[in-house]
Chains A and B, each alone.
Chain A
Amino acid sequence: GAVVSQHPSRVICKSGTSVKIECRSLDFQATTMFWYRQFPKQSLMLMATSNEGSKATYEQGVEKDKFLINHASLTLSTLTVTSAHPEDSSFYICSATSYGPGNHYEQYFGPGTRLTVT
């Protein structure tokens, strides 16, 4: 099946620094990529929807200046957490969708990135 990778898998950074997380679709071109965050023992929360070559659409309550999303190509989207604070510590997951025959789509998830801000 299709593979989505994320890099890094874990990152620890100091408060006030910025962190970039990459999401790549390895063997398919992704129509759309999504970014989620997940707090311990909670479900995924959609942060933003990203389409190649256009601005990301952010969900209500997500600061677009803090969580910068760049979707440079059909296989790469990046999430940059700017001026990170301890409350930004979370598990960040991306997913990518691919359309098949009959406009049937599949959504593939990356392995996630655990961010710890100290």
Chain B
Amino acid sequence: KNEVEQSPQNLTAQEGEFITINCSYSVGISALHWLQQHPGGGIVSLFMLSSGKKKHGRLIATINIQEKHSSLHITASHPRDSAVYICAVSRGNTDKLIFGTGTRLQVFP
């Protein structure tokens, strides 16, 4: 069993829909990261969370440390949001990331 699990693996949506991607982990962490990878391959760090909730534009990330669960929400989705979204966790005092398998999102106009 992977230490970081994401669901769903694939997600399609119509433009404007509210999207939720889930991440569960089974290890103790110091922080959880949400990353975005576009078809060209480049990776952008969206959020780093250790508690609570963060918001940036149409993106919201939440984390529940007790339940070892995080969600990434996209409000008013747009075709340009189409990408692979990756959840990753870092442990203790090391910077090393453990990655989930990613969620491939396609938003259609």
A binding-site residues for B, Cβ under 8 Å: 31-32, 34, 38, 42-46, 49, 91, 93, 95, 97, 105-112, 114
Residue in A34, A93, A111 whose beta carbon sits within 8 Å of that of B96 in the complex: A34
CA distance A86 to B86 in the complex (A): 27
Contact status A109-B43, CB under 8 Å: yes
C-alpha gap A76/B45 in the complex (Å): 20
User: Complex formed: what's the CA distance from A97 to B41 in Å?
Assistant: 19
Find the A residue at minimum CB distance from B43.
Answer: A109
In the complex, B44 has a CB within 8 A of chain A: yes
Cβ of A43 and Cβ of B100 under 8 Å apart?
yes
Question: Could you pull out 29 A-B pairs where Cβ atoms are within 8 angstroms?
Answer: A31-B95, A34-B96, A34-B97, A38-B41, A42-B101, A43-B86, A43-B99, A43-B102, A44-B43, A44-B86, A44-B97, A44-B99, A45-B99, A46-B96, A46-B97, A49-B95, A91-B41, A93-B43, A97-B95, A105-B95, A106-B45, A107-B95, A109-B35, A109-B44, A109-B45, A111-B40, A111-B41, A112-B43, A114-B41
* Nearest A residue (CB) for B38: A111
Give the residues in chain A near B97, CB-CB below 8 Å: 34, 44, 46, 107
Which residues on the A side are within 8 Å of B100 (C-beta)? 43
Contacting residues of chain B (85-109) with chain A, CB-CB under 8 angstroms: 86, 95-97, 99-102
Cβ of B57 within 8 Å of any chain A Cβ, yes or no, is no
Q: How many A-B residue pairs have CB under 8 A?
A: 48
- Which single member of B42, B48, B96 contacts A112 (CB below 8 Å)? B42
Q: In the complex, which of the residues A43, A45, A109 contacts B42, with contact meaning CB atoms closer than 8 Å?
A: A109
